[in-house]
Structure 1
Amino acid sequence: MEIPVYLDSTQNTEEAIRQRMLDRVDDDIDKTEGSYVWDGLAPVAMELVFVSLLAQYVLNMGFAQTSADDYLTMRAAEHGVIIRPAVKATGKVLFTGTPGSTVPEGLLLSTEGAETEDSSSLQFVTTQNITLDETGHGEAAIEAVEAGAQGNIPAGRIVLMLADRRNVQAVTNPEPTTGGLDVEDPEILRARYLEKVRHPGTSGNIDDYKQWAKEVPGVTDVHVIPLWNGPGTVKLIVLGPNKLPPDAALVAAVQEYIAPTNGGERKAPIGATVAVDAAESLPIQIDATVLMDASANISLAEINENFTADLTEYLATMAFQADVIRYARIGSLLIEQTGVVDYIDLTINGGTGNIPVANNQVAVVGAVEIHV
């Protein structure tokens, strides 16, 4: 198909547009640079460049493959694919104070502010009332004030109370806060949209279950096993953030969204029995002896770290996409590392063969040991 002039960027420079307009002016009229005609058409040519760019932009925003930002969100929503919102991190904190003292729901807590501008303090709020026991301790559920992955913090970081509680001397989070998610990445939204329009679900088929599961914030992929326990039964094996096994809360959220165990509104067809399970971790243990490039300015520890990062990325791309982790591919990852000339010995999970992955498993990085 011939590209229209207004979409051909080579034909829509200021000079090209101005020349096309000048060519339409009779030759017996002065249209040299500096003439009234030339000076009158020059600013119009510049404005038409903007119009041409706008036409290209509007066309791009009309197609899911090239759309972006709010336009992609609206395009996906037309087909019922709603962008997954950010989710607040949750956890628990331990208060220490005078026995019998109360801690109210809604008490603001905070991490300590960091010295760097990009690491400000994070606020959390209690979501239940508690009374300290006879030892002066009490545990309360909390959630982040702001939604997003930044609310997932290590244990021991929440140490401040943003209100005067004279009978409560200390607070801390004994365990990391978890479950915080950023708003859905546009590329993931685009992929879900294209999956829905290219593989439409009908009457509770496999595509339906895949799309329903991926509508739950945090789910990155799903295996659907029909008739897993007889007629009318379906099992879903789900992956969580970063293509890793999900926590129990995410599994429960998928179950509640598709087929609540206690009844209520459901996505699954009436009569279908749906079970949701987390993918099982299959640790990939690496032990290798390498020949290092003596001229490379890199340490063995750095090689180990870089290889582990590349292995993590590779395993994520294989999650629910392949039923085997290939020995040769991991060997290639190793020999591609800066500072590695060759490997003398490489074992994966104690052997030198491919590692099979069951349909309820996801390969994850285990212990990585690289020697010289």
Structure 2
Amino acid sequence: MAFENKTIEDVNSLIINGLEAELNTKFRLLPKAFVRVLAKVLSGIYISLYRQQAWMFLQMFVATASFDEIEVLGRKIRPLVLWGQLVGIGEPGSATQFEGKIKVKASAINTYLNQGTQFVSRSTGEIYYTTETILLRDEYNIVSVRCAESGVIGNLVVGDMLDSVSPYNNINRQAECVEVSLNAVDPEDEASYRARVESRWRVQPQGGALNDYRKWASDVPGVLQTYIYKDDNTAAGVLIYVVANTDSRIPTSEMLIQVGKACTYNPETGEGRKPIGAILDPANNETYSNIRPCSIKKFDVYITGYSMDEYAAFSASVKSNVSAYFKQREPFVRGLSVDNDRYDRISSINVSGICNDIAEGVSGHFDSVQIKKDGVVVSSYVLGRGELSELKDIYINGVKV
């Protein structure tokens, strides 16, 4: 029989009954009010100890260990992070700063632009400072900058405009972002870190098996998932398709290189990881061309003959649920995926079932559901290497939702 949790009221009643049964027999004049006050005090102490022990029990499991920092005997710890360090994934990923290059126009040639010169972005409102002192040799010069704040809030795209914080007599005030060297990431949240720790516990190192590459790639901040395949063009080649933890799910070129390095060497110790014969970098110049971005296949869904009852509720719910269905699909990799739990097939029957459940919930009905890819009707589609799916648009009775 499972242990039943007791409330403070339960404990209070047990103590009162016990004290009254015992003390009223020996000291019948003992005031009942005293018994109840004493019971309240004792039950409060008991429940405090019980809850502390129950909390300690939760720390024994990765799924329930606390992510928050606590102090025990003068030592500050984070139980979930201790589990993560034990299995070798270290601390949660910290926020990084955006790094890129901007183009500035010199108003005085052969003068210096000092390190620490500040610019403010028109799009993000953040401050960016130059990371080096450069000689303005030409009319237009390229200078490296870094965002003063950490996190994705500081990310720029090529073409974004910046203005110098203060006027300078040797450069024009306006500057343009011309290159993204490193996109910033936010601090790793609890859900993402817990998922990485759980994944590492489930999948122990196996000397270069497919799961090992997935494990190593997860050490790179911003990596959501990876799919690993044998390169058919080379005997020892390994292909890794990377999914980023962003809305687009497409990783940057910098992230791909970081994944290649993380799969080759331990970033903390420098020790080798992949088998010595496995090839991730065919050119052997740290470009890691075998580390590739995932590709997103977009599908349109057409629902015809829908009765107009509760149209707003139906359209909102069906778009949300069908979109979630497509985002949950992923390629099947033998040796990496679970054989009896495949999500690589997109089926119009499954989509129709989702729509039918929603329609029944609002007392509606429809005639048919079709899926189209690039304008062509498909009854089913199996995701290939590194392919993910996404709902592009959904139409109800010919009208785009």
TM range (shorter): 0.7 to 0.9
Paired AA for residue 280 in structure 2? V
Instruction: State the distance in 2 between where 1:71 and 1:363 align.
Output: 37
Q: 1:354 offset after TM fit, Å?
A: 0.9
TM-score with structure 1 setting the length:
0.79
The equivalent of 2:336 in structure 1 is none
- Tell me whether 1:109 sits opposite 2:103 in the alignment: no
User: Displacement of 1:210 after TM fit?
Assistant: 1.4
Alignment of 1:176-325 (within 5 A): 179-226=183-230, 228-242=232-246, 244-259=249-264, 265-275=271-281, 276-286=290-300, 288=302, 290-291=304-305, 294=308, 296=310, 298=312, 303=315, 310-320=321-331, 322-325=343-346
Q: Any idea what the Cα deviations from partners look like across 1:61-115, whole Å, max 9, x if unmatched?
A: 22111113132112121111222222323333332341525433333332359xx
How do residues 130-141 of structure 1 correspond to structure 2 at under 5 angstroms?
130-132=134-136, 134=138, 136-141=139-144
Tell me the CA shift for residue 151 of structure 1. 2.3
What letter corresponds to residue 317 of structure 1 in structure 2? Q
Amino acid in the other structure paired with 1:356: V
Residue aligning to 1:71 = 79
Q: Which runs of 5+ in 2 are unaligned?
A: 68-77, 282-289, 333-342
Secondary structure at the counterpart of residue 93 of structure 1: strand
Summarize deviations over 1:135-180 as a string: whole Å, max 9, x none: x433333332232222235666653433442332212436789622
Map of 1:116 onto structure 2: none
Structure 2 CA distance for partners of 1:294 and 1:223, relative to 1, 3 Å: closer
Tell me how far apart the structure 2 counterparts of residues 362 and 75 of structure 1 sit (CA, whole Å): 32
Determine whether 1:18 maps to 2:12.
Answer: yes
- Residue of structure 2 in register with 1:328 after alignment: 349
Q: 1:342 corresponds to which residue?
A: 366
Contact 1:124 1:142 in 2 (8 A): yes
Letter in 1 for 2:256: V
State the superposition RMSD in angstroms. Answer: 3.6
Distance 2:236 2:191 in 1: 34
In 2 relative to 1, CA 71–255 (structure 1 residues): closer, same or farther, beyond 3 Å? Answer: same
State the shift of 1:274 in Å: 2.5
Of the three residues 86, 99, 104, the one matched with 1:95 is 104
1:163-215 CA distance string (max 9 Å, x none) = 44233221243678962222223223222222222221122222221111111
Aligned-residue offset at 1:219 = 1.5
Counterpart-to-counterpart distance in 2, 1:312 and 1:195: 26
Greater Cα offset, 14-23 or 330-339: 330-339
User: 2:386 maps to which residue?
Assistant: 360
Of 189-198 and 59-68, the range deviating more from structure 2:
189-198
Deviations 1:320-368 (CA, angstroms, capped at 9, x unpaired): 4533222233345556489985365634111131122112322244466
Q: Does the 8 Å contact 2:299/2:390 carry over to 1?
A: no
SS in 2 for 1:204: coil
Specify whether residues 95 and 369 from structure 1 end up closer, same or farther in structure 2 by C-alpha distance, changes over 3 A only: farther
Q: What code does the residue aligned with 2:386 have?
A: N
1:95 & 1:86 partners in 2: Cα distance? Answer: 28
SS at match of 2:146: strand
The SS at the match of 2:145 is strand
Q: Which runs of 5+ in 1 are unaligned?
A: 114-119
SS state at 2:97 partner: coil
Q: Would you say how many aligned residue pairs link Structure 1 and Structure 2?
A: 352
- Asked if structure 2 preserves the Cα contact closer than 8 Å seen for 1:151 and 1:178, the reply is no
Deviation, structure 1 residue 60? 1.1
Moved more, 61-70 or 345-354: 345-354
Note closer, same or farther for the CA distance 1:285–1:207 as it changes in structure 2 (3 Å cut). closer
1:57 aligned residue: 55
Contact 1:228–1:235 (Cα < 8 Å) also in 2:
no
